[in-house]
A and B are shown apart, each in its own frame.
Chain A
Amino acid sequence: GQNIDQPTEMTATEGAIVQINCTYQTSGFNGLFWYQQHAGEAPTFLSYNVLDGLEEKGRFSSFLSRSKGYSYLLLKELQMKDSASYLCAVRDRSGGYQKVTFGTGTKLQVIP
């Protein structure tokens, strides 16, 4: 099975940088996703990592270390609109099939 852990809640200040961590355990790792979800809305895809290293997309970056079962999402120059839940999800390929398991999400509150 899979076990994905991320903090339940975080608070950060507008203009600052915040790092949301995600740790996972899986037998057939085949990619890690980060999503943003505002209350009452569908998730928005942020990033996909399958190789070790840092992927940067504007104010958002995602890092992966497969050997450590660890990823983080880095948000720079925080804006009030970044207040949302951030979901980490791991795709696993076991037994010839692929499935995706989500963490419970990290609710980020950006304060002035």
Chain B
Amino acid sequence: GAGVSQSPSNKVTEKGKDVELRCDPISGHTALYWYRQSLGQGLEFLIYFQGNSAPDKSGLPSDRFSAERTGGSVSTLTIQRTQQEDSAVYLCASSVTSGGAETQYFGPGTRLLVL
């Protein structure tokens, strides 16, 4: 079946522009995560959606970052007024829980480069 997809796969933008990153989770997965990985760095948690519950936005790096998940499915991560330090790979993962065990599936990521 189809896995987690993300678009665009690559994005080059100019400093100050807004960008929107999209994540299509696996159908039926109720949980969705956004992470960021800067070059040569570890993963940084950004935000987590579970069902219809309000997400914790405290992991977002700044108020320029926002995320939505419409209808419990597709999610968009928006970065306003991009800065060079926003350059990173943005990863989305969706998960399913069965018998108390959670299994996550990652998308291929969006490579963002802010010039």
Contacts and interface: CB of A to CB of B under 8 A. Distances in A.
B80 interface: no
B44 A102 contact: yes
A70 interface: no
A16 interface: no
Interface residues of B, number: 25
B42 A98 contact: no
Nearest to B92: A42
Contacts of A33: 104
A42 B91 contact: yes
A43 B44 contact: no
Contacts of B102: 31, 48, 50
Which interface class (under 10, 10 to 19, 20 to 34, 35 or more) fits A? 20 to 34
A48 B33 CA distance: 15
Nearest to A55: B101
Contact of A100 (B48, B89, B100, B107): B48
Interface of B: 33, 35, 42-45, 48, 50, 55-56, 58-59, 89, 91, 93, 100-109
Interface of A: 31, 33, 42-45, 48, 50-51, 55, 87, 89, 95, 97-105
